[in-house]
Amino acid sequence: MGVDRIGHRFAEPALLSQALTHRSAGAPHNERLEFLGDGVVNLLIAEVLFQRWPKADEGALTRARAELVREAALATIARELELGARLTMGPGEMKSGGHRRDSILADALEAVVAAIYLDAGFEACRARVLPWFEQALAALPVGKPEKDAKTRLQEWLQARQKPLPVYELVSESGEEHARHFQVRCTLTDPEMACDGEGSSRRIAEQAAAACVLQAIVPKK
């Protein structure tokens, strides 16, 4: 197999084929590779952050890694590598647009990372994979990646000895492959509430917290 956007010439092309096979297409599919790739990606990102940010504390490093390996970030890289067009999927998933879905693309990227690791070893995997993250790494504020909205809201309230927010699931809808969540973030002091929406409960909670923050924190 020739070199493509992935940029690695596989000694065992079957590894790449498996990495790009969704479980809906039957075995062998990419779920085991995804599991391994998740660990490899986390190690690679942890290592590069540790080396590049010698003065950053554990909290900053953890937040930066979380930003770089979150589903949407991995899916963005998968799109740049044009993995969606190469996925093997069952007819139902293909018809529903699974090759465009963030969760499937992110899983495929992790599986491809594992395939490279198994095919060529850790050093070759590092050399091939880290450049995929370079743009996102460069975009991070050095040593001080912004905390997520829920963390910032909690810290703002704690600093003023105010009660912590309550997050409540308002609604959940959509098919299994395209869920939609609405979450309400409620404060008692000051009294207010904001709703947030997203493709997961976590994303909806973050959106609700960001809405509350925008309302209560004075603009600089």
Nearest-angstrom CA–CA distance, 73 and 65: 11
* SS3 state at 11: coil
Nearest Cα residue to 182 out of 191, 193, 190, 192: 193
Q: Which of 71, 110, 119, 205 is catalytic?
A: 110
Q: Is 110 a catalytic residue?
A: yes
Nearest Cα residue to 148 out of 99, 85, 71, 213: 213
Nearest-angstrom CA–CA distance, 214 and 207: 11
* SS3 state at 145: coil
Q: Is 38 a catalytic residue?
A: yes
Please indicate if the annotation marks 110 as binding a ligand: yes
Adjacent-strand bridge partners of 166: 186
- HSE (CB half, 13 Å, CA atoms) of 65? 23
> How many other CB atoms are found less than 10 A from the CB of residue 158?
11
- HSE (CB half, 13 Å, CA atoms) of 135? 6
Q: Which helix (H) or strand (E) holds 212?
A: helix 201-216
Backbone angles phi, psi at 57, to 5 degrees: -85, 175
* SS3 state at 193: strand
Q: Which residues are catalytic?
A: 38, 110
Q: Which residues are annotated as a binding site for Mg(2+)?
A: 34, 107, 110
Q: Which residues are annotated as a binding site?
A: 34, 107, 110
